[in-house]
Amino acid sequence: MQALTNRAKPVSRKKMNLWESMYLPEILRGMFITFKHIFRKKVTINYPEQTRPFSPVFRGLQILNRDEEGRENCTACGLCAVACPAEAITMEAAERQPGEEHLYREEKYAAKYEINMLRCIFCGLCEEACPKDAVYLSETFAPANYQRKGFIYGKKDLLIPHPKEDPEAYAKAKGSRKLHPEGHGNEK
Amino acid sequence: MHLLAIDWAVFTEKLVLIIVVVSASLVIAMYSTYAERKIAAIIQDRRGPNRAGPFGILQPLADGLKLFFKEEIIPKFSSKFLFILGPSIAMLTAIMIGAVIPWGNKIHLFNRDISLQIADVNIGILYVFGIVSLGVYGIMIGGWASNNKFSLLGAMRAASQIISYELAMGISLIALLMLSGTLSLKTMVDQQMDHWWYIFKQPLGFLIFLVCAFAETNRTPFDLSEAENELIGGYHSEYSSMKLGFYLFAEYVNMFLSSAVMVTLFFGGYDIPFVNDHTLINTIGTNWMAVLQGGAFFIKIVCFLFLFMWVRWTIPRFRYDQLMNLGWKILLPLALFNMLVTGAIILLHQNNWHF
Ligand code: SF4
Ligand code: SF4
């Protein structure tokens, strides 16, 4: 059989010579090897304190975006729900009332917007479908939960923090991910 | 009349000593579990437990708590009394060895010289052997009482392993006893304080004793009796909760005390190396000396504990026939050979052959 890599080493089945069958020298050799490992660098990353950087194309938890004045972008057109292969998104539309212009950018907005994180496959098609730059995938992932219903994320979980009232949290939620790579096609 | 009078001072003194020794062995055993996990992790380039408390030093407490909270199951058709007796005997015999080990020379308190040994019996070594062989009962009873054929088979394996290695262990010690001419551990330590440690006079004997000690304490490479990944725990497969904890814990107490025995027999006990103890005792006094000696003893024991763990995470387990071969066909003849050679040399010395 041909070896897949050049690191493969066939098992030697030859008879042990006297030195090897005395066993103790070989044990000492083995113990020396393990002793050297005490001084090796640890490979573990202390997870909650330290995190591994994500790749630039990482797709995490969805976020509902706001514009610079903090108004919600989403206009409840439903394109994301249609695009979603896992049928994870549901929403209810509502009409913007006079006086609510500072809350919603468009005349129609999503009164209810839910994503079922157990169904979502984090494919990012909703992000690509959205004409309003309203939904995109961030750099976090859904934390564990004790109940199924805890995985249905409503608007209050998804909405990005207000850019003016809480700029720090806004920047953090937005992350460093490049939202509009060249040729993405959603630029307005 | 005087035979019945109790010397209350001696009584309290021994009681305090017993409490200190038992709790110290338990605490050390507790932290050996932590050390074991840490060393395993470090040898495998991991970090080990580091969540409970700073550096994870509360981990043993958390483990103990976990064991206490687990459901306690006593199998329906087991014999209940024996089922509980098994782990108790394992723990009891493990702790009892500590009684004859001299932890230090003596301290001077309240105008009394207090010996730091619970019982200086003149057959110290025989006592240790007697207790160690009692330990088999803990395993056998546990395996038998579970009323499970696999537990019973596991117990048989464990018992035959321990009995086989006891033989070589005893014979390797006979050579040492011929040299020292005493069975008392305290006298042996005193002999080593002034002369060479016995490891230099009995290197082969020490090696055999060490290997047998590994086998007696069921440590890798001889942990076939519990071999968790092939035997589902051997003799303790039916045990749960703190009764299982007792078995596992007894192993660590055993490890600690067998290290103490090895240090006492071969590494000078509480002797401080490179120091003339008699001149030092005059300069710093008895009590400080006892502290230093206790420290030296403890450091030697810790080195042995590290050795136990280091070996565990280096060597794979023996196959059962290899284990028996090693015990009967290699260690036993080797121990006999060692005994003969030592005897011959002693004989030649006594007949004024100097070389
Ligand atoms: S990432 Fe994919 S699966 Fe998840 S909601 Fe968006 S379109 Fe649906
Ligand atoms: S998120 Fe975008 S695609 Fe989805 S309903 Fe809102 S505007 Fe339309």
ipTM of this predicted structure:
0.75
Positive or negative: CA dihedral B25, B28, B34, B37: negative
- Asked whether residue A106 is assigned to any structural domain, the reply reads yes
Q: List, for residues B212-251, the tens digit of each pLDDT value.
A: 998 888 887 887 777 766 666 678 888 888 888 888 888 8
**Full-model pTM:** 0.78
Average pLDDT taken over every residue of chain B: 85
The C-alpha of B166 sits at a distance from chain A's nearest C-alpha, in angstroms, of 21
| Best A22, A37, A45 residue to mutate vs chain B (most B CBs within 10 Å) | A37
pLDDT tens, position by position, B31-42: 898 999 999 888
Element (DSSP H or E) covering residue A110:
strand A108-116
Pairing of strands A152-153, A108-116: antiparallel
pLDDT of residue A188: 41
pLDDT tens for the 188 residues of chain A, in order: 677 788 888 888 888 788 777 788 888 998 899 899 888 888 888 887 888 887 878 888 888 988 888 888 899 999 999 999 999 999 999 999 888 888 888 889 999 999 999 999 999 899 899 998 888 888 887 788 888 888 999 998 888 888 888 888 888 887 776 655 444 444 44
CATH number of the structural domain spanning residue A108:
3.30.70.3270
| Ligand 2 center–CA A174 separation, angstroms | 17
Contact A42 B46 (CB under 8 A): yes
Q: How confident is the model at residue B2 (pLDDT cuts 50, 70, 90)?
A: low
Q: Is A77 annotated as a binding residue?
A: yes
Q: What number of helices (H) and strands (E) belong to chain B?
A: 14, 2
Number of structural domains chain A divides into:
1
pLDDT value at residue B97: 87
Q: Is A110 in the pocket of ligand 1 (CB under 6 A)?
A: no
Q: Do A27 and B47 touch (CB under 8 A)?
A: no
Judge whether B143 and B156 are in contact, CB under 8 Å.
yes
Contact A60, A127 (CB under 8 A): no
Q: Which domain holds residue A113?
A: 62-187
CA B166 to chain centre: 13
Chain centroid offset of residue B36 CA = 16
Q: Which of A37, A41, A44 minimises the CB distance to B43? A: A37
Cβ distance of B314 and A31 shorter than 8 Å: yes
Model pLDDT, residue A184: 47
Residues in chain A whose Cβ is within 8 Å of chain B: 24, 27, 30-31, 33-35, 37-38, 40-44, 46
Compute how many other C-beta atoms are within 10 angstroms of the C-beta atom of residue B284. Answer: 11
Residue closest via CA to ligand 1's atom 3 equals A120
At A71, list the tokens. Answer: 């108004």
User: Ligand 1 pocket: which of A120, A127, A137, A141 to mutate (most atoms <8 Å of CB)?
Assistant: A120
Sign for the CA dihedral angle at B144, B148, B153, B155 comes to negative
- The whole-number average pLDDT for the span B313-326 is 86
A20 annotated as belonging to a binding site for a ligand: no
